[in-house]
């Protein structure tokens, strides 16, 4: 008879790390985070510099290929991505199989998984050429897929991409064009959304990226792996926090009610937490939150909404919390989600699209990490162990003898 406790006792070193808070699962050249200092680098470049000076498409190139492109490389990449934005026409029927009120994340999860039923020439993960095609297809088609999910939910017809538009402009066009009118993309709003995409593009081994890597480690095809990442991101503790932050600001409503909510956030008997505050890794100001705040002000100014009461609540809440001993001691600072909900709402997106926009932006990070994993000679199938806490070995007892 196996004595399970004795086996554990003799097993030597065994790491039990719920939530993997101190377990590295891979080596990666892509993203660096110093949570104590509030530093985030993509391939060595600080996020604030990329947010201010780069474009999302350039950041896609950087994440996928390791370096910023020169002019010729950028032109070629732009052309390639732009000319792969269309999806297979039959996918439209796939969308029509969903209820109109389906959550866009449910639709995206299904549609991205279904890409593996359409693009058979990019499923062989052992062929570098096919891997490359899969990366290009995912980055170029994901805005079309997200926009179609949005259009389907509103009952409006799907809009084809326009090749003369840039990546983010094209996405806005596919979301907001109305057949009877000429839609003109506002450059300030497009820049804000492009920056939001940059800020969400990668964040090392977070839950959804780890999910993509784990699914990919078994040799699953890239579209199935990204669908797994979308499923994980959908959770409120991961991709859904900006929605929760916006709802919280709406609940607080006016500046004079902030002290009451600060009090509640500090009360251990109250489950309420300040949404958009605190982070598992950042024990300092989330560097993405600063860039997000800049874009939030730019969008509201452009739209003449700088008097948005939610912005006033957010700014004042941040000011009060950052001076409060509880938040200072626990190193709770605003995270990326604190200002993103207000910004996305002002851009015209319904709350149900917030996580879908996150998925759109994170797709390049996911597929870049997937590609890196497959190119890693040390790559193995992911197989965490467990600490068994169940019954000792025992003999089966027939039903009538129990
Ligand atoms: N408001 C009030 N108190 C908080 C908050 C908050 N937002 N966040 C953490 N705390 C307190 C906890 O109560 C805990 O106190 P204790 O030590 O007295 O028990 C302490 O700070 C540490 O909190 P943990 O939950 O243990 O920290 P962890 O690193 O596991 O959690 C998390 C990080 C989940 C993000 C947490 O800060 C939180 O719930 N924040 C609100 C939700 C949110 O904004 N999530 C978005 C994260 S960013 C992203 O996913 C893109």
198 Cβ inside 6 Å of ligand 1: no
Q: What is the mean pLDDT of residues 223-244?
A: 91
d(CA 88, CA 171): 17
At 189 the pLDDT is 97
Confirm or reject: Cβ of 332 under 6 Å from ligand 1: yes
Q: 64 alpha carbon to ligand 1 midpoint, in Å?
A: 32
Rounded to 10°, the helix 167-176/71-82 angle is 20
pLDDT band at residue 8 using 50, 70 and 90 as cut-offs: confident
Q: Which of 273, 334, 359 to mutate to test the pocket of ligand 1 (most atoms within 8 A of CB)?
A: 273
Output the six-digit token pair for 94: 């796939």
- Cα–Cα distance, 81 to 215 (Å, whole number): 25
Just list the catalytic residues: 279, 337
Give the closest residue (by CA) to ligand 1 atom 21. 330
Determine the pLDDT at residue 1.
76
Residues in the chain: 402
- Using the predicted structure, report yes or no on whether residue 5 has a pLDDT greater than 80: no
Taking CA atoms only, the protein residue closest to ligand 1 atom 25 is 280
CA–CA dist 377, 358 (Å, integer): 31
Tokens of 187: 């450059």
9 Cβ contact partners less than 8 Å away, ≥ 6 residues apart: none
Residue 243, pLDDT score: 85
Q: Is the CB of 234 under 6 A from ligand 1?
A: no
Q: What is the mean pLDDT of the chain?
A: 94
Q: What is the ipTM of this complex?
A: 0.92
> Which stretch of 114-118, 229-233, 256-260, 284-288 has the lowest confidence by average pLDDT?
284-288
**Is the per-residue pLDDT at 390 higher than 90?**
yes
**pTM confidence score:** 0.93
């Amino acid at each position: 008879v196996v004595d399970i406790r004795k086996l554990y006792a003799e097993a030597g070193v065994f790491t039990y790390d719920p939530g993997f808070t101190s377990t590295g699962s891979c080596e990666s050249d892509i993203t660096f985070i110093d949570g104590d200092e509030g530093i985030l680098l993509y391939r060595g470049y600080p996020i604030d510099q990329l947010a201010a000076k780069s474009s999302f498409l350039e950041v896609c190139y950087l994440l996928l290929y390791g370096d910023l492109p020169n002019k010729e490389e950028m032109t070629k990449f732009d052309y390639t991505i732009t000319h792969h934005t269309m999806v297979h026409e039959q996918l439209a029927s796939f969308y029509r199989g969903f209820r109109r009120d389906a959550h866009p994340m449910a639709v995206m999860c299904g549609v991205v998984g279904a890409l593996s039923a359409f693009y058979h020439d990019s499923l062989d993960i052992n062929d570098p050429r096919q891997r490359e095609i899969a990366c290009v297809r995912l980055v170029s088609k994901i805005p079309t897929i997200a926009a179609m999910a949005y259009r389907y939910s509103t009952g409006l017809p799907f809009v084809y991409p326009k090749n003369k538009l840039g990546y983010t402009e094209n996405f806005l066009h596919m979301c907001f064009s109305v057949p009877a009118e000429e839609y003109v993309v506002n450059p300030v709003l497009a820049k804000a959304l492009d920056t939001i995409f940059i800020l969400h593009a990668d964040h090392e081994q977070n839950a959804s990226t780890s999910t993509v890597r784990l699914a990919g480690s078994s040799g699953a095809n890239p579209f199935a792996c990204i669908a797994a990442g979308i499923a994980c991101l959908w959770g409120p503790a991961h991709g859904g926090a900006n929605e929760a932050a916006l709802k919280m600001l709406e609940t607080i409503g006016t500046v004079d009610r902030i002290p009451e909510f600060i009090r509640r956030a500090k009360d251990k008997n109250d489950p309420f937490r300040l949404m958009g505050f605190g982070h598992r890794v950042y024990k300092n100001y989330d560097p993405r939150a600063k860039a997000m705040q800049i874009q939030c002000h730019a969008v509201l100014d452009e739209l003449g909404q700088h008097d948005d009461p939610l912005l006033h609540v957010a700014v004042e809440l941040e000011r009060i919390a950052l001076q409060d001993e509880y938040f200072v001691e626990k190193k709770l600072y605003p995270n990326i989600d604190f200002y993103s909900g207000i910004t996305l709402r002002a851009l015209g997106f319904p709350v149900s699209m917030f996580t879908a926009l996150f998925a759109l932006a994170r797709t390049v990070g996911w597929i870049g990490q997937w590609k890196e994993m497959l190119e890693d000679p040390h790559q193995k199938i992911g197989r965490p162990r467990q600490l068994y806490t169940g019954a000792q070995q025992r003999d089966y007892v027939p039903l009538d003898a129990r």
